[in-house]
Amino acid sequence: MRLLFVATLHHPQALEDARRAAPPGEEPLFPPSQGQYFWVKALRRQGHDCAVFWRSESALPWARTRQLRMTQRMTPARAISALAGRVPALNPDIRLRNRRLLAQARAYQPDAIILIGDNRVILSDTLARLKRETGAVLVYASGTSPVVFSHAIERAAAPLYDLAITNDFYHAIQWRELGARRVETLPLSAIDPEFHHPFALSEDEQRRYGCEVGFVGTLVPDRLYGERIAALEALREFDLGIWSVHEVPASLRRFYRGAALGEEMLRATAAGAIALNPHGDFMRWGGNMRLFEACGVGAFQLVDDRPGVREWFRDGEHLVIYRDRDHLRELVRYYLAHDDERRQIADAGRAHALAHHTYDQRMARFVELIEDVRRGA
């Protein structure tokens, strides 16, 4: 199939670096810091052709794509973005981007258009024209809640989505209620064994990344990550390491060790004795990227209790689930004192991820769902 992704570029420098490092003819469409990088790798291995339209790239010649950095403060850039997003159809830059997408799709003639979540740019009228003019299946793929994160133009377009795929079962219900024709729960994250693997860290890397409990991820705004922040605050008595490309709350700033993307993120995840993984408050079923990637790099993972975690992994065998902050502290103390048990669980988690949660497996199911829609199944 010919698959056209419509997405936001979060880390432009990481994409430039990845393209420079890639062999000729194998240049990636996405940076390794975005999950779609691995989607495309797997899809290409399966014989599918992929292209991308960057909806985040301004059509104005003097504008440039910037790296996303989340903050709780009101900055001039946030204010301008909020004002511009109030009535996107009246924004000349957004209208130009929509026309560019139409032109690219007409030339490419995709079998499926895969709209990645957090769309603030592509209008419902554009999506309807794309479906009429190309006959492509319209797929909406997102790992976040439509109640919390989606924008008005995404919700308005829901009846146009032939297929909505999300890793969280509760999010799938919400998209169905908004009018999506078919919804499926499928973890959108997995592991690529060529990328997600154990690392032999140098002494310098062990000093840089080593800690008793490590966390890599987003912590702002606190209204969306309050449980995550509380879990980390409960462990301030331990040697705690935090890496994030975004702002870190004041209560945790002394544990902050810098940004980590791509391979550096995986090294930071693998280096600590314990990799902590509290989900965002909005992800009640579970299944974030870290859940699978921590297992892939052979880390011992402590994760909060979510139904999906218990569906995809076995507690105490592949990872360990904590119930609340007191239970979390108890488990951290126990497993820091039992190296052999940590290693045994980490090894089993990696073996399980390799057997059941690779991007090749994930994308094979992804394509199967699209083909079902195309056949009218």
357 with 318: CB under 8 angstroms?
no
Euclidean distance between CA atoms 178 and 180, whole angstroms: 6
List the CATH code of the domain at 203-356: 3.40.50.2000
Model pLDDT for residues 224-280, shown as the tens digit of each residue: 999 999 999 999 999 999 999 999 999 999 999 999 988 999 999 999 999 999 999
CA distances from 342 to 134, 162, 196, 285, 329 (A): 52, 44, 19, 25, 15
Q: Nearest CA to 267 among 205, 346, 344? A: 205
Q: Is the peptide bond before 23 cis (omega within 30 degrees of 0)?
A: no
- 2-190+359-375 with 203-356: one CATH topology? yes
In tens digits, what is the pLDDT along the chain, a chain of 377 residues?
Answer: 999 999 999 999 999 999 999 999 899 999 998 999 999 999 999 999 999 999 999 988 766 555 555 566 656 554 555 555 566 778 999 999 999 999 999 999 999 999 999 999 999 999 999 999 999 999 999 988 898 888 999 999 999 999 999 999 999 999 999 999 999 999 999 999 999 999 999 999 999 999 999 999 999 999 999 999 999 999 999 999 999 999 999 999 999 999 998 899 999 999 999 999 999 999 999 999 999 999 999 999 999 999 999 999 999 999 999 999 999 999 999 999 999 999 999 999 999 999 999 999 999 999 999 999 999 96
The CATH H-level (homologous superfamily) assignment of domain 2-190+359-375 is Glycogen Phosphorylase B; (3.40.50.2000)
Using CB atoms within 10 Å of the CB of residue 369, give its burial: 0 to 12 exposed, 13 to 18 middle, 19+ buried.
middle
Phi and psi at 138, nearest 5°, equal: -100, 115
Domain ranges (residues) in the chain: 2-190+359-375, 203-356
The Cα angle at residue 121 between residues 176 and 130, in degrees rounded to 5: 70
Model pLDDT for residues 27-57, shown as the tens digit of each residue: 999 999 899 999 999 999 999 999 999 999 9
Note the pTM of the prediction, 2 decimals. Answer: 0.90
Q: What is the DSSP letter of 62?
A: T
The contacts of residue 52 (CB under 8 Å, 6+ apart) are 4, 5, 6, 7, 29, 30
